[in-house]
Structure 1
């Protein structure tokens, strides 16, 4: 199953980004009121940051992610930090490589602007659920937990070096599988 990514740099892609995320509002499972959720998912389009869409081989949107530079507690002046505001992949594509390829694309994108804004870490929040913790602890360190009216949220931090190392492990695995396949076919 193939897929490709598109930056939401035009009105058309921005519109598709918002339509896609709003159509999947319930599946986002964000523990906020609708106005707060709307502010989070739209902030990558309105603030310094970026948003991407992932399309499947039938040109249907399969996922979206968006981030902003800086954190609210530092008035968004800490540009070396990006916050993932949303990362969502439709259910039928969750077992594909879209998540890994999206992370790889994010690193490439951030590297392109490293002279302007050298990003050192990525932060994100997730509901305090065992499945989330198992998944996210593979790539990030849980740093805090906050109890809100909507539920308990865990904050995760991912250092860029740690993320690069994680992504490199997938490249090694792919090369090993390719080499193993070539050996078997000879």
Structure 2
């Protein structure tokens, strides 16, 4: 689905059974595009785990209400038996190719960080796994790995990225401020902090 020019986004947390079913149907229908180097059964476990161990969100266009993406994460990690809830592991993020843009990326990234904090105010780190080589998002991930306190670890052909949630949030805010100063960010998603940064210096 393509997001119309200027169309706002709705981030719907999947709390009801019908939301769970819609979330899974949507991502299963696109599992080949998720860049998960696993058999289908393992992919399915990654897609479903946020419904039980964290949060899942569907992204809709406000006018059409068509789905244009989704994300899901869990609190804790498998090795920590999901008791290390200061760590938040992102299981999947997907945005329809025709709807990808800096504005959509920033809105989704903000919604993700806000959802992590809303579900667990004590969350301190965000991590995710991806293929170690030839990932289409490698430049983006490399920038995340350079954040203060962040790290990239390669294990058996997979790369684990981990960064402090506060640093990730600050980086997202910095990107938004730069876009806002160039007039490339809709007024509706500019935060008061970014408006202050845009104000002429005395």
Pairwise TM-score range, normalised by the shorter structure: 0.7 to 0.9
Aligned pairs for 1:91-170 (under 5 A) are 91-114=97-120, 117-130=121-134, 131-140=136-145, 141-147=150-156, 152-170=157-175
Residue 71 of structure 1: CA displacement?
Answer: 0.8
**Higher strand residue share:** 1
Residue 113 of structure 1: CA displacement?
Answer: 4.3
TM-score when normalising by structure 1? 0.84
Residue 72 of structure 1: CA displacement?
Answer: 0.9
Residue 102 of structure 1: CA displacement?
Answer: 1.6
Contact 1:69 1:81 in 2 (8 A): yes
Q: Could you say which residue in structure 2 is the equivalent of 1:76?
A: 82
- What runs of 5+ residues in structure 1 fail to find an aligned partner? 180-186
Q: Could you say which residue in structure 1 is the equivalent of 2:64?
A: 58
Larger deviation, residues 79-88 vs 130-139: 130-139
Contact 2:106 2:176 in 1 (8 A): no
Q: Could you say if the C-alpha distance between residues 113 and 53 of structure 1 is closer, same or farther in structure 2, counting changes exceeding 3 Å? A: closer
CA RMSD of aligned residues (A): 1.9
Contact 2:72 2:90 in 1 (8 A): yes
